[in-house]
Structure 1
Amino acid sequence: MAELHELTAREQSFLLRTGALRPGELVEHYLSRIEKYNHDLGAFIAQDAEGARARAAALEAAGHPHAAPTGSFTRVAPNSFRIESPGAEPEQILWGLPLADKDLTERAGLPTTFGSRAFAGHVSTRSEELVQTLDAAGAVSLGKTNTPEFGQHGFTENLVAGPTRNPYNTALHAGGSSGGAAAAVAARLLPFAPGSDGGGSIRIPAAATGLVGVKPSRGRVPGGSAIGSVGGLAVAGPLARTVGDAALLLEGMIGTPDPARYALRAPELAPGALLHAADNPQGRFRIAVLRDSPWADDYEIGLDAAGERSFAEGIEHLRALGHVLEEIPLLRSEGYSAAFRVLWRMFPAAVPLGSGGEALLEPVTAALRERGRHVPALDLMGALGFFARFERDVIEQFSGYDAVLTPALGQSPRPVGFYDLEDPDESFRQQVLYSPWTSFVNVAGLPAVSLPVSVDEQGLPSAIQLIGRPGDEPTLLRVGAQLEDRIRWQERTPPGFA
């Protein structure tokens, strides 16, 4: 008999719908695992056991809105199933499923530190739109997951809660900035979790911890659309063990957008379209293979041995599945590094701080904040103009392909204590070399997914990245599900967390 945490979120959802499992049981199971393992991981900065139990009880009292199952499971491995014709049920699609909020997202009544000592003790008085959407979808939040200060870095370490560690080796980082969410899902402390991604912050920790991480198109998730933000970079998306689980959570994060309030740049999808793509992974596609990085104009970009192996394996698997692959260069990227550094300095400068807050900032954040305050308006306008041209150029370059394949990371997960916490330039260089293929996807506003294709000699996950056409998350999910069926990465578990 499988333990509850061994089941996928889709399987748990099916059991909840049939009444074979109650939300309260699932909540208690995951709360006990958090209590047992979080001390070693630093995945959660706060738990909300009382609120989760009350939420679960309320859901049970109301009953599942679709109690009669609309599909069935077919067993394809000892503890693995495929959903047959599950149907689209946008109303409370996440009913009874636990997750947690990233500590950049405010939920009324819970602490939100934004990964910073400057906000230690801050208790939110409002719930952001993404939280409201997830609640409306029937999810149950168990607390807040760790993030670096203001979500600024591709690793998760801060002075308010400490580092988040990788479940595959707790001496290593779990990536960032959604590192707490990734560690929690990889260690089976949650079935899945929402994250945010402004330069790779979903895909980096997903790759480091063996998960599927989806960065949606700009505008896809109304509660984390990036539309209106500086540079239009940061979007909300899911981290999960399987493609189907990621599709399920993404459906719940999208909710039902109000066309009167949102001018979505991403083409609208019918409810259930993402789940349908994950469950029906047919198709042979034309896929570009890209090794170039826009950072190469200013940094010596490389791919370590584990990354080379996973990239080669990904290419081999895709060809074996019948896809047509063709290597391409990345054109016209000169100036990318300078433009991105302008925005990196601007982010912390825009954070409103109360009295005494400046003195509590971490050294890298304080230095960036000071530099950001002195960015000339013409430099900011130039960076934004460059991004607009770069977006257009990248979409044009990729337009002849259904997807683009790149490595996910340039290096294996780094040790805790590896990153420079004093010098912003050195920290920036370290992060660029770690993840040279993620941030340009945010600039272009395209969807992308990190897929854990292999395991290296040390037992660490190693991943590839697939980038899609504007608004075409379904093709990425189809290709991802094909690879998942072939590789069976969903059956991997970090040692000590089974």
Structure 2
Amino acid sequence: MTELHELDAHDLAATLRRREVSAAEVVDHQADRIAALDDRLRSFVTPTIDRALEQAGAIDLTGDAGDAFAGVPIAVKDLTSTAGVRTTMGSTLMADAVPDVDAHVVRLAREAGLVSLGKTNTPEFGLSSYTDNDVLGATSTPWRLGLNAGGSSGGAAAAVAAGLVPWALGSDGGGSIRIPSSCCGVVGLKPTRGRVSPGPLGSDWSGLASDGPIARTVRDVAALLDVLAVPQLGDARYVGGPGRFAGAAARDPRPLRIAAWADPYLPGIETDPRIRAVWEDALRLLASLGHEVEVVANPFPPELEPQFNVAWSSGMAAAPIPPEADPLLRRNTRYWRERGARHSAADLAGAMQFLEATTRQALTGLGEHDAFLTPTLAMLPQPHAWFTESDDPAESHHRELQFTPFTAVYNMAGIPAGSLPLGQVDGLPVGIMLGGHQGSDALLLSLMAQLEAAAGWSTLPIDPRR
């Protein structure tokens, strides 16, 4: 008999609508699983089971599920503001911070009837491509304890992979949805810039970051994007209208022309040959589905990286943290704050102009292609200490670049990109990344769903006790 935690959001919602189980029973089941597994994973910073039971009870009392996914559990990344629930941002400086305002995406999820089971782990202020902090510690991929879940939405991806929730809210400023999705063998999408509102208090001033969905199936990712892609008054970059992504994921795309590359854009960094082999399998699978695949040189120049770092570090330097609190920050955070403080306003303006002009040129060169295919990561999941053992923060940063040299260019360009699990190496999942031009989220989800079906990837959760 299939257990509740083995169902994706669609199947769990159908079970709830048939009244084979109550929303409160679903919360109780997931709470028991969190209690049994999460001391090993460390995916939840703050579980909110009592609040979830109260919300689920209210849904059960209506006698009618109403919204299609009413009663389905979700989790929220601990960078995302949640009224009445502490939001630590992975920092001991904010260990007791309790916002009084919900982020727009949190409100949308609640209004759709989704029941939050709590806040998921993230590195301090979401700065790293691995998840580790001084609030909870490091989050493991459920596939192998002791190997990092990736970051910065590591807690969200680990919780989904382990069946603690069927889907979760993540955010992505340089790969932070796609990196942990690859490490944890789940599906994650960074939407087009402006697709998801950062309101009411958030600001995507640099254009790099976006909230987005993480789930075990493409259809769940698409449905959650439908929930999230609703504008708020004041949005400066809103793109498109809501309500079309689930439909796109339910149908195959037309034959597409796809550009593919597996070499990082940064010199001296190489892709693990075993990961490259999974990418090559994906090329053949796409061709068998009738798509035209062309292997090209990586179109993004290495000069993007230092300019990205200007924008990344400037944002951290602008955070309202008093100087006397600096010793309480993790070394990685201090490194980015110190780098950002050295940049002038002219440096930042020049960097932003360079990122826009250079990525535009690269995408213009790809104008005859509908989508792009690369590995998500250049390396397999790594031990927690591999990211943190160096005494030199510049060396630690270089290791992160070795780990994830493909993802950030999609943030620089503002275009959609998703990670899809398509293989395994040494018992660990390998994600393949698909990207597209601005606004092509629906087409991308259609292609991802087609690949998912053809590959036959298992969506069942991983149990770290095995």
* TM-score bucket of the superposed structures, by smaller chain: over 0.9
Q: Does 1:287 align with 2:247?
A: no
Aligned position for 1:375: 343
Task: Establish whether residue 412 from structure 1 lines up as the match of residue 344 from structure 2.
Answer: no
Aligned residue type for 2:334: A
Counterpart of 2:296 in structure 1 is: 328
Among 104, 119, 122, the alignment partner of 2:79 is 104
Q: 2:408 is matched with which residue?
A: 439
Q: Give the aligned residue type for 2:235.
A: Y
Shift of 1:228: 5.0
For 2:189 and 2:456, how far apart are their aligned partners in 1? 18
> How far apart, in 2, do the equivalents of 1:16 and 1:42 lie?
28
Answer yes or no: is the 8 Å Cα contact 1:242–1:490 preserved in 2: no
Residues 307-336 of structure 1, C-alpha deviation per residue, up to 9 Å, x if partnerless? Answer: 112111111111111110012223462521
Residues 223, 253 of structure 1: 8 Å contact kept: no
Choose from 185, 189, 193 the match for 1:210.
Answer: 185
Query: What are the residue-to-residue correspondences of 1:217-296 with 2, within 5 Å?
Result: 217-223=192-198, 229-254=204-229, 256-258=230-232, 261-266=234-239, 268-271=240-243, 273-296=244-267
Structure 1 CA distance for aligned equivalents of residues 362 and 64 of structure 2 = 44
What secondary structure sits across from 1:489 in the alignment? coil
Distance in 2 (CA, whole Å) between partners of 1:270 and 1:108 is: 25
Residue-by-residue CA offset, 1:418-471 (whole Å, 9 max, x unaligned):
113643211211111111110000010000110110111x21001110001211
Pair 1:453-2:426 in alignment? no
Among 304, 309, 321, the residue aligned to 2:272: 304
- Choose which of 100, 114, 128 in structure 1 pairs with 2:103: 128
Instruction: Quote how far apart the aligned CAs of 1:348 are.
Output: 2.1
C-alpha distance in 1 between matches for 2:465 and 2:363: 41
Residues 164-187 of structure 1: per-residue CA shift (max 9 Å, x gap):
011000020000000000000001
> How many percent identity over aligned positions?
38
TM-score by length of 2: 0.95
State the partner residue of 1:11: 11
> 1:467 aligned to 2:442?
no
Number of the residue aligned with 1:351: 319
Aligned to 2:46: 46
- Residues of 2 paired with 1:147 and 1:475: CA distance? 30
Give the whole-Å Cα distance in 1 for the aligned partners of 2:286 and 2:339: 45
Q: Is the alpha carbon distance of 1:335 and 1:176 closer, same or farther for their aligned partners in structure 2, counting shifts above 3 Å?
A: same
The 5 Å alignment of 1:74-153 reads 92-153=67-128
SS of the residue 1:171 aligns to: coil
Q: How many pairs align?
A: 465
Alpha-carbon distance in 2 for matches of 1:334, 1:406: 16
Contact 1:218 1:226 in 2 (8 A): no
Q: Is the 2:142–2:462 contact (alpha carbons within 8 Å) kept by the matching residues of 1?
A: yes
State which drifts further: 235-244 or 423-432.
Answer: 423-432
Task: Give the drift of 1:372.
Answer: 1.5
Alpha-carbon deviation of 1:359?
Answer: 2.3
Structure 1 partner of 2:36: 36
Contact 1:274 1:474 in 2 (8 A): yes
Distance in 2 separating the partners of 1:173 and 1:301: 20
2:25 & 2:363 partners in 1: Cα distance?
47
Report deviation, 1:222.
Answer: 1.5
What does the per-residue CA deviation read over 1:240-280, in whole Å, with 9 as the maximum and x for residues that have no partner? 111011111111122x425x5335453x1451x11111111
Cα contact 2:47–2:119 (8 A) shared by 1 = yes
Once residues 69 and 75 of structure 2 are traced to their aligned partners in structure 1, the CA distance between those partners, rounded to angstroms, is: 13
The CA deviation at 1:416 is 1.4
1:397 aligns with 2:370: no
Q: C-alpha displacement at 1:282, in angstroms? A: 4.1
* Alpha-carbon contact 1:215-1:449 (below 8 Å) kept: yes
What is the Cα deviation at residue 295 of structure 1?
Answer: 2.6
Change in Cα spacing, 1:304 to 1:332, as seen in structure 2 (3 Å) is: closer
2: distance between equivalents of 1:495 and 1:110?
Answer: 28
Match of 1:87 in 2: none
In structure 2, relative to structure 1, the CA distance for the partners of 1:380 and 1:51 (3 Å cut) is: same
The reply on whether 1:385 has 2:356 as its aligned counterpart is no
* Amino acid in structure 2 at the alignment position of 1:262: D
4+ long deviations beyond 6 Å: 224-227
C-alpha distance in 2 between matches for 1:224 and 1:447: 20
Decide whether the 8 Å contact of 1:294 with 1:440 is kept in 2: no
SS of the equivalent of 1:172 reads coil
Who is 1:85 aligned against?
A: none
Deviation at 1:221, TM superposition (A): 0.9
Q: Tell me which amino acid in the other structure corresponds to 1:379.
A: D
Hey, what's the Cα distance between the residues in 1 that align with 2:202 and 2:357? Answer: 17
- Aligned partner letter, 1:465: M
Tell me the TM-score normalized by structure 1. Answer: 0.89
Where in structure 2 are there 5+ consecutive unaligned residues?
A: none
